[in-house]
């Protein structure tokens, strides 16, 4: 079963060896748990939700059964409108469902230095869309990694290989749940 990961530098593996990227580590973890999967890396460093929206049809040419959507970090870092983030992610999820693909939406949180109003609007997008589309949901992609110095590269934004392993361990149950639903 093919799983595609549509995302930004957190997926692409910025600053990491190819085998340490999120898709590579996720594939190894799933195979070790007995799943016959191939995890495709559709991450583009610097990408926003708008860029991901433009790439959906191209990604679907690989015929994934499941797509993990990890987008929004760059929207937040640039202070882009939360309404536009929602519109882009909404369109991505609708396209995936129309194509018969099982989505897993991985949430992101806005940096708190952009103000509480922005953070509240931004953070609310992900659970609202997951409920609206009735898709798998993992609330915060960087759970247990964001702000933890030893799990991040020197820039403090991108996880190192140990940080990616922590992300994989956290998201694995949600991925397996979507895999089970997609296999039915």
Instruction: List the catalytic residues.
Output: 9, 155, 158
Contact 33, 93 (CB under 8 A): no
Q: Which residues contact 49 (CB under 8 A, 6 or more apart)?
A: 71, 72, 75, 84, 85, 88, 89, 92
- The CA distances from residue 55 to 43, 103, 160, in Å, are 10, 15, 26
- Tokens read off for 3: 């799983």
């Amino acid at each position: 079963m093919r799983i595609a990961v549509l995302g930004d530098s957190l997926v692409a593996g910025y600053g990491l060896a190819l085998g340490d990227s999120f898709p590579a580590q996720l594939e190894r973890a799933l195979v070790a748990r007995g799943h016959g999967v191939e995890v495709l890396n559709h991450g583009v460093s610097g990408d926003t939700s708008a860029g991901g929206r433009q790439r959906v049809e191209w990604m679907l040419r690989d015929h994934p059964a499941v797509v993990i959507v990890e987008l929004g970090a760059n929207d937040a870092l640039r202070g882009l409108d939360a309404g536009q983030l929602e519109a882009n992610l909404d369109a991505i999820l609708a396209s995936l469902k129309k194509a018969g693909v099982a989505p897993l939406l991985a949430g992101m949180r806005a940096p708190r230095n952009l103000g509480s109003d922005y953070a509240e609007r931004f953070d609310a997008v992900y659970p609202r869309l997951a409920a609206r589309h009735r898709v798998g949901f993992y609330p915060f992609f960087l759970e247990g990694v964001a702000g933890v110095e030893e799990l991040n590269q020197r820039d403090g934004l991108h996880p190192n290989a140990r940080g990616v392993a922590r992300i994989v361990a956290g998201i694995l149950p949600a991925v397996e749940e979507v895999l089970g639903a997609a296999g039915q």
